[in-house]
Amino acid sequence: MVDHRSHSPRSPHPSQTNHPHPHSGHTHPSGKNPGGSANSKRLILENLVSLAVALLIVFAVRSSIIEPFKIPSGSMIPTLLIGDHIFVNKFAYGLKVPFSDLIGERPVFLIPGELPKRGDIVVFVYPRDESIYYVKRVVGLPGDTVDIRNKVLYVNNTMISRELASASAAEDLFYKLDDPKYTAQNLDLYTENLDQSRHLIMLDKTNFSGESHGPFTVPPDSLFVMGDNRDFSNDSRFWGFVPMKNVKGKAVAIWLSLSFDPLSFRPSRIGTVLK
C-alpha cells in the first residue's frame, strides 16, 4: 500500500528511508545477519586448522630436525654449564620420519646417517630410565675397547693425549662458575685430544674413587659415553652402553645461558659452537 500523504521538506522520500529492502541481503529485519553465525564458525574452524597445522610443523621440526634442551646438571662442565640452553641437531645421524621414535621401538629413517664420531656431544635417552635425557661426550664406538687408567683415557690401548689448560682459561672458567667448590686448589683443567676433537675436561685432585675403570668392549650399534667433568659424571663407566636407537641428536650450539641457583646470566656464552 502506498502512502499518499504530503511530506515536508525535512521528511525523506519513502525511497530514501533507512529501512532496508526486504530482499537487499544486507541486514535481517531483526538487525542480525542470518549468515553471521555461520561465517563466525567457519572463521573459527579455519583458525583452528591453521593453528593445528602450525603446531604439527613445529613438532615435526622438533622431532626430526632441531630441538632445544636445557642443561640441568654439571656433568659436562667445563664444556656445558648448568643453565646452558642448547640446540640439538636431530638429523646429524640420519633424517628420520617425524614421530617414528614415539610409535615404534626405534626410529624409521628417510635418509640413514653415519655413526657419531668420537668426541661428539650427544643427547640420548638414559637406558635405565627412558623418561630422562642425558648429554655426554662419545669416547667409544662399536668394537672399541675403552678403559681408564689412573684417570687417563685409553681407546683401543692408545692413550688419549691431554695437556694442562692455561691458567687464564682455568681462572675464566672458575669465575663463570662462581661456586666455592670449583677452584684451582682442588680441580685441574685439561685440553684432551680425542681424534679430531680438542676439548676441555676437568679432574678433581682430591677424588680418587674413579681412577680406573674397564676395559670395556663396545657392542654393535652402541656407544660408550663420558662427561667432561670426569669425576662428577654418571656415565658409561657406571651403567654401561648407549644403544644407538636412544640417541636423539648432536649438541651443536648454546643459544642461551641462564641459571637461577644462583641467578646468573652469561651472555658471552650465547652462540658458542660446541666441540
Q: In terms of Cα–Cα distance, which of 146, 125, 123 is closest to 224?
A: 146
The tens digit of pLDDT for each residue in 9-64 reads: 444 444 444 444 444 444 444 455 556 678 888 888 878 887 777 766 665 565 55
Tell me how far apart the alpha carbons of residues 176 and 231 are, in angstroms, rounded to a whole number.
Answer: 20
**Total-model pTM:** 0.76
User: Which of 172-176, 198-202, 217-221 is predicted least confidently?
Assistant: 172-176
Out of 63, 64, 75, 233, which one is annotated catalytic? 75
Out of 63, 90, 96, 136, which one is annotated catalytic? 136
* Annotation says 264 is catalytic: no
* Annotation says 75 is catalytic: yes
**Band of pLDDT at residue 101, cut at 50, 70 and 90:** low
Q: Cα angle at 238 between 233 and 239, to 5 degrees?
A: 110
The tens digit of pLDDT for each residue in 51-69 reads: 777 766 665 565 557 899 9
Q: In terms of Cα–Cα distance, which of 236, 216, 224, 176 is closest to 200?
A: 176
